Structure 1
Amino acid sequence: MSLVFKLAWRFRANKRQNGFISFISASSTVGIGLGCFVLILLLSVMNGFERELKDRLLAIIPHGEYTAVDIEGLANWPEEIVKLSHDPRITFIEPFVKATGMLQKGNLLKAVEMSAVSPDFAEQNQQVTQVSNEQWQAFIRSENGVLLGQGIMQHLDVKVGDSVQLLLPQISADLSLRAPKSLWLEVLGSLNLEGELSNHIAVMQMSLAAESLGVKNGAQGIRLRFVDPFAAPSIVPELGFAMEPEVYMSDWTRTEGNLYQDIQLVRSVVYIALILVIAVACFNIVSTLVMAVNEKQSEIAMLKSMGAKDSLIIQTFMLQGLLNGLIGTVWGVILGVLMALNLADVARFAEKLLNIQFLSGDVYFIDFLPSELHWNEVALTAIIAVILSLLATLYPAFKAAKINPARVLGH
């Protein structure tokens, strides 16, 4: 064991040390550990929300949409789908007709975003909407069938087998509104969507929707899903400009991007705030060492009079302060990792114990606290904490090295 470490540990563990210094030293260790713990935990929660956003919400909504400028629909859309199918970045392609209308059952009305799909893409659409195979097969065989989000079915008090009336707005050539188009549709299944989506999404046959809305080309546009949904803002314009018909382009960040942006904003704010918390805790190391240097001036003077070099004194006090940072960082990282790996179980236990629900599935797209630990973030947090702890030791260590043995021992 080196002399530097022996001296640093002896100074740190000295039982004759002033009680206030010990308290400040302990508070710096606890502060650093608590900052590391909370930072790792909250970053893991943000990672979990991002994962659930990708696996749940972005598995349902399209990542990109191309809608025809022409009111008659997208010309030559089958050829465009064939061209797009060769792009390895795309995992799913389908034509669509989309309309906003009103569903009526008795005296109850509900605004609905009707998404019309083609049976030719049945298997992929079934995976996306999470409808049972029996209900999906019934839907693709029925021209006037409809699949409703669970929230819509609850609002209208309908069940599978009931009939509902769909009112679609009609626009004339001079853009004036006409009497709405009325369709009777049979409810053939419910969409197992998450959160708010189930309150306004419904699916019907594309051929019926195109006929009702006057889309003579059979499809209003094409929607896509990508291998990496977060690349949609750059891929959608690239592919859209290469299409021959003029199209309006949109990606998921325009409709649901506020949620993703909120996650990134919270991640940044959390990181900055908790790094500052760790930095404030490290300032306690400065206070601790400054007071320790003032208290141990005679010991430092004796060491220097025995031939100890300034470098030995500097290294001793730097190591003494660094030990506080390392101890706090180690226990903070360990507790943060353990909590992040078991957050869902801990949250469920707390919900049962307190009889509350942290996240409601009726409001959010998930009803539990997600967590995903990234080891690179754990390492970065630990490195930052150790570096800040080390920087905090510089001023007290150099102050200790400047002590004059003759002046101190002469008194």
Structure 2
Amino acid sequence: MMLAWQLAQRFRQAKQKNRFISFISFSSTVGIGLGCFVLITLLSVMNGFERELTQRILSVIPHGEIYATETTGIRHWQAQQHRLLQDPRVKTVEPYTKITGMLQFKGDLKAVELTGLQIEDATAPGWRAHVQDNHWQTFVSHPDAVLLGKGIAKRLQINPGDRVQVLIPTMTDDMSFKAPRSVTLIVAGTLNIGGEMDNYLGMMHLNKASAAMNVDSGAQGLRFTLADPFSAYQTMRDIGYTFPQAAFMSDWTRTQGHLYNDIQLVRVVVYIALTLVIAVACFNIVSTLVMAVREKRAAIAILKTMGAPDGLIRAAFVLQGMINGVTGIVIGTLAALVVAPNLSAIVAAVEGALGISVLSGDIYFIDFLPTELHGSDVIITVAVAFVLCILATLYPAHKAVQSKPASALNG
């Protein structure tokens, strides 16, 4: 192996004298390094989006819901809450009542979805993290208080302390509508969750919401926070099928699952596209080695006549190609390990310098570029690039072994 390494180094030094071959060799190294760098960085961005989805949206949106088919609500919900908390898959269970209606303020109307929660349980799913301290204190101390999404308050120009009305549609037994009920609430502050939810979501006290919706049991349904949010589909069906009362069941994949699916789709597309970029760069290794084999036919013939085994010649050309590949992999991976964890700060600095915004908080659920570097992504990327580099060297090395000493020396 040491002799093969020395031959690879000798062939590589001779190759550098040929500028054309040297340029192709350099381009393969740059291509492989760039592919590894971009792939690891973009996978880190996808991990960051997935983390923000879990910590930001899924901290407010319940992982699962069970809500009564009857207007009277969940019967004996306290007992059901205690029973369901025994399930190891369930972290928290909290009662809720939801109001869907029109928010009215100074003649303007805005569709809104208000969730009534018990204040002592409302910190469990993470509402508290999205509310300013003074707004939260006002909300806790006043039973008629409401917290509105930042987008709602901005759209209707509502300030803390303003009184708003919520118009609740009323349906009769014959499925016709009559005059809506009206509930007056005091705005305690705003919720800053991010994205579209800020334009329709709000929070109020459970007792007030249940009274407004005529829910006699005190809670329209139960909201779940699960130990594994990504098991919500199966877990909620297991719970729903064994629930003692006729009820609807839902989970976050029905309402916000498109975000997670989009992230996974982009991850797959990025992996495929950039793996192909690395593969294309590896084709340059093939070109470099094929030209090197043709240029070194005489040297190969001399080695064979001196008794060099085929394995030695094959290993020499494989190592020669792997030097380019490994150099690119190392440089690209090290660059990604430096840039990926600091990409959020780098993008923020660029935004500040150029006065632009990469992500708009009014459209996306975050207004910054998140990153989270996973060691598994680095290992898989390096392994895939390394395997592609090895495969790229096999054909030229095989052609080198097939070289006939007599014809090579005579040519």
Give the TM-score range, shorter chain.
over 0.9
Residues 397 and 222 (structure 1), Cα distance of their counterparts in 2 relative to 1, 3 Å cut:
same
Give me the whole-angstrom Cα distance separating, in 1, the residues matched to 2:390 and 2:312.
16
Residues 295 and 65 (structure 1), Cα distance of their counterparts in 2 relative to 1, 3 Å cut:
same
Q: Which residue of 1 aligns with 2:72?
A: 72
Residues 194 and 397 (structure 1), Cα distance of their counterparts in 2 relative to 1, 3 Å cut:
same
> Tell me, which stretches of 5 or more residues in structure 2 are unaligned?
none
The TM-score normalised by the length of structure 1 is 0.95
CA contact (8 A) 1:163 1:185 kept: yes
Residue 30 of structure 1 deviates from its aligned partner by 0.9
Give me the whole-angstrom Cα distance separating, in 2, the residues matched to 1:83 and 1:72.
21
Give me the whole-angstrom Cα distance separating, in 1, the residues matched to 2:133 and 2:273.
49
Q: Which residue of 2 aligns with 1:195?
A: 195
Over residues 61-102 of structure 1, what are the superposed CA-to-partner deviations in whole Å (9 max), with x where a residue is unaligned?
A: 111011111222112211110101222332222111112111
Give me the whole-angstrom Cα distance separating, in 2, the residues matched to 1:205 and 1:182.
16
The TM-score normalised by the length of structure 2 is 0.95
226-235 or 115-124: which moved more?
115-124
What residue identity is the alignment partner of 1:158? I
Residue 128 of structure 1 deviates from its aligned partner by 4.1
- Secondary structure of 2:112's counterpart equals strand
Residue 137 of structure 1 deviates from its aligned partner by 4.5
371-380 or 261-270: which moved more?
371-380
Give me the whole-angstrom Cα distance separating, in 1, the residues matched to 2:350 and 2:404.
58
Q: Which residue of 1 aligns with 2:308?
A: 308
Asked whether 1:108 is paired with 2:108, we answer yes
Asked whether 1:51 is paired with 2:51, we answer yes
What residue identity is the alignment partner of 2:258? N
Residues 280 and 401 (structure 1), Cα distance of their counterparts in 2 relative to 1, 3 Å cut:
same
CA contact (8 A) 1:60 1:129 kept: no
Q: Which residue of 1 aligns with 2:405?
A: 405
> Tell me, which stretches of 5 or more residues in structure 1 are unaligned?
none
CA contact (8 A) 1:59 1:128 kept: no
Give me the whole-angstrom Cα distance separating, in 1, the residues matched to 2:32 and 2:313.
25
225-234 or 55-64: which moved more?
225-234
Q: Which residue of 2 aligns with 1:255?
A: 255
Give me the whole-angstrom Cα distance separating, in 2, the residues matched to 1:134 and 1:123.
15
State the identity %: 51
Give me the whole-angstrom Cα distance separating, in 2, the residues matched to 1:314 and 1:240.
64
Q: Which residue of 2 aligns with 1:222?
A: 222
Asked whether 1:357 is paired with 2:364, we answer no
Residues 19 and 137 (structure 1), Cα distance of their counterparts in 2 relative to 1, 3 Å cut:
closer
Give me the whole-angstrom Cα distance separating, in 1, the residues matched to 2:224 and 2:189.
24
Residue 277 of structure 1 deviates from its aligned partner by 0.9
Q: Which residue of 2 aligns with 1:388?
A: 388
Residues 408 and 95 (structure 1), Cα distance of their counterparts in 2 relative to 1, 3 Å cut:
same
- Secondary structure of 1:124's counterpart equals coil
Give matches, 1:110-259, under 5 Å. Answer: 110-124=110-124, 127-128=127-128, 130-132=130-132, 134-259=134-259
261-270 or 333-342: which moved more?
333-342
Q: Which residue of 2 aligns with 1:317?
A: 317
Give me the whole-angstrom Cα distance separating, in 2, the residues matched to 1:127 and 1:360.
22
What residue identity is the alignment partner of 2:368? F
Residue 126 of structure 1 deviates from its aligned partner by 7.2
CA contact (8 A) 1:317 1:393 kept: yes
